[in-house]
């Protein structure tokens, strides 16, 4: 397994995605949805989640990562049309019995 620098791993995850769909997926499949940097890879995202959200007494285990490239929407301002920039999101599936506490993850 490749090792990644802690500086890079702290920059891979940008923010959790809070929406109706991500909440439903999280409750049903024990998954969490994150907005990630555009050049992030699956192993990097897995290592970043395990590093940032592991409690002090035990290690958080990620079962799998799925990545989706979200296209930006077409927008208009009067007669001018443009496009919002696209972004990447990751669905992180945790092993059974694992959970992420976002309040504890901020203290590290």
Q: What is the pLDDT of residues 64-98, one digit of tens each?
A: 999 999 999 999 999 999 999 999 999 999 998 88
| Residue for token pair 């702290």 | 10
pLDDT at 2: 75
**Which structure tokens are listed for 49?**
């989640």
The span from the CA of 33 to the CA of 18, in Å, is: 8
Predicted confidence band of residue 1 (pLDDT cuts 50, 70, 90): low
Each domain of the chain, given as residue ranges in start order, spans 6-101
At 35, is the secondary structure helix, strand, or coil?
A: strand
**For a pLDDT cut of 70, what percent of the chain falls above it?**
93
Going by CATH, does the domain composed of 6-101 fall within 3.30.70.330? Answer: yes
């Amino acid at each position: 397994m490749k090792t990644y620098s802690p500086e890079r791993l702290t920059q891979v995850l940008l923010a959790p995605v809070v929406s109706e769909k991500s909440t439903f997926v999280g409750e049903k499949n024990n998954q969490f949805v994150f907005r990630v940097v555009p050049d992030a890879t699956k192993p990097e995202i897995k290592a970043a989640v395990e590093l940032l959200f592991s409690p002090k007494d035990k290690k958080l285990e990620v079962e799998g990562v799925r990545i989706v490239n979200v296209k930006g929407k077409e927008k208009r301002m009067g007669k001018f049309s443009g496009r919002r920039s696209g972004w990447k999101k990751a669905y992180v599936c945790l092993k059974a019995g694992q959970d992420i506490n976002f309040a504890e993850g901020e203290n590290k």
